[in-house]
Amino acid sequence: MALIRQLSACGRRHCPGGSTSRCGRFTLIELMAVMVILAIVMGIAVPSVSRLTTGIGVDAGARMVGGKLRLARQSAISARKNVALLMPSDGEMTVGDFSYIALRMCEVTGDSPAKFVAWLPETKWEYLPKGAVVAEADSDLGMSNPPTDGQYSKVLPDAANELGAASGRTVRAVVFRKTGRTTAVTRRYVTIVEGVLIGGNLTIKNAENKMDLAVDQFTGRVSRE
């Protein structure tokens, strides 16, 4: 309505000689035609922008996960503690919608599997950009269809279950020792892909739009594959 009023105001011009005829005015049909054209243009542009934003989200998500992995490794070395970057998969947590989209660092024991000790100071759950999910975090490069974690590092809840894990469940993670190396005996690969959670279930939107991060088991170094 605001656009119609604006267009109408722009069209109200006086004809030479002060005539009050329809000189320079828009008819209702003309205004409606403009509105239809605008609606068509928006209908084409909005999905394209949405797809572009989602695609960019995978790249941003990979940078975010890579940065958190490096921070977890550095925290383990500097604090002389075992540190895990949690990346929950389906149904592993009881509180919050964390499956496939959330990250958080915590201190763990040196056991295998590691056991939760405490959250790292001033950390909180952080979410990947829209359209990006951590589909897999295991020992094999690439992604199965549907995504399935193979051998992956696990974190057990403590006695009080301050971790917030579901009953009898462990939480998917990459665990770094005090030396900076991982607790795994092989490389760990983290796959970030274009996907969404629908009704709590993971749906891959574009399997071709993905990035793999590798974590070396000897050095803990993080690289893109």
Percent of the chain with pLDDT over 90: 69
DSSP SS3 for 40: helix
CATH superfamily of the 38-224 domain: minor pseudopilin epsh domain (3.55.40.10)
Q: Which residue has the tokens 């540190």?
A: 83
Tens of pLDDT, residue by residue over 192-210, are 999 998 887 899 999 999 9
Q: What's the pTM?
A: 0.77
- Report the half-sphere exposure of 141 (CA within 13 A, side-chain side): 10
More confident residue, 17 or 195: 195
Q: What's the rounded mean pLDDT across residues 47-53?
A: 46
Question: How do strand 102-108 and strand 126-127 relate by DSSP bridges?
Answer: antiparallel
How far apart are alpha carbons 209 and 191 in whole angstroms? 11
d(CA 65, CA 78): 20
Tokens at 73, concatenated = 């490794």
Token pair recorded at residue 92: 């592993």
Whole-angstrom Cα distance, residue 164 to residue 35?
52
Phi, psi of 180 (to 5 degrees): 100, -15
pLDDT for 118: 98
C-alpha 81 chain-centroid distance: 28
